Amino acid sequence: MRKQKTSRAAARTAEQLLLLEQLKHVADGLGQTLAPFCEVVVHDLLDPGHAIAAIHNNLSSRGIGDPATELGLARIADAAYPPVVANYANSFADGRQAKSTSIGIKDSSGQYIAALCINVDLTMFHGLQSVFAQFSRIDAGNGTAPQESLDPVGADGIRRRIDDYAARLSSTPRALKAEERRALIVELREAGCLDVRRAMEIIAQHLGISRATVYSYAK
């Protein structure tokens, strides 16, 4: 067996060896970045019986030298197989749900020689989703809760209100028409924004008009 593997490696081109080595570096970087929820695996498709050449953040309990998966074998059999299969449902041996992406790597002859596979453990994310849903739940109460806003009125608050107003009209602050700007000033006055220090200057700058024009709308 050892002689067979050595012979196979010797038959590889320098290009194939270089691509495989560079792919291992990519996997190492992704593994460090996406730890601990994401397993990153390099498959050597030139040796399908011992395909796993590198594995980072091992979530599947596989090891170096383990055989290729069904998807890897499909790529070996068909050079026209899609180079990227993204976000497909998968599962680990113990039943944990996973989301996987497989990226095939070809050499200059068009032959698949390797694959980079990313397997995300969804278990913790599903748990976090439930936690966040519980945390963000809002009760209607018994009708006695006060109507309250925690939005402070200030320069940023004025700009945000202007942006929101323009968005409701599918427009931008500087593209608002004169009648739309007048209606905006009414909203800002009712919200107490015109009482903010330098409010007219802030509004004028954000709308791209003069302060005199803002004062005229405010009358």
How deeply is 81 buried, as exposed, middle or buried, from its count of CB atoms within 10 A (0-12, 13-18, 19+)?
middle
What distance in Å separates the CA atoms of residue 151 and residue 70, rounded to the nearest whole number? 55
Q: Which residues contact 30 (CB under 8 A, 6 or more apart)?
A: 38, 40, 56, 116, 118
What distance in Å separates the CA atoms of residue 25 and residue 218, rounded to the nearest whole number? 63
pLDDT at 140: 62
Tokens of 23: 């792919």
pLDDT at 180: 95
The reply to whether the predicted model has a pTM over 0.85 is: no
pLDDT at 145: 60
Average pLDDT per 10 consecutive residues for the chain, totaling 219 residues = 44 94 98 95 97 97 96 96 96 91 97 97 84 79 58 80 92 93 94 90 94 92
pLDDT at 64: 97
Q: Top-level CATH class of 2-123?
A: alpha beta
pLDDT at 134: 84
pLDDT at 8: 47
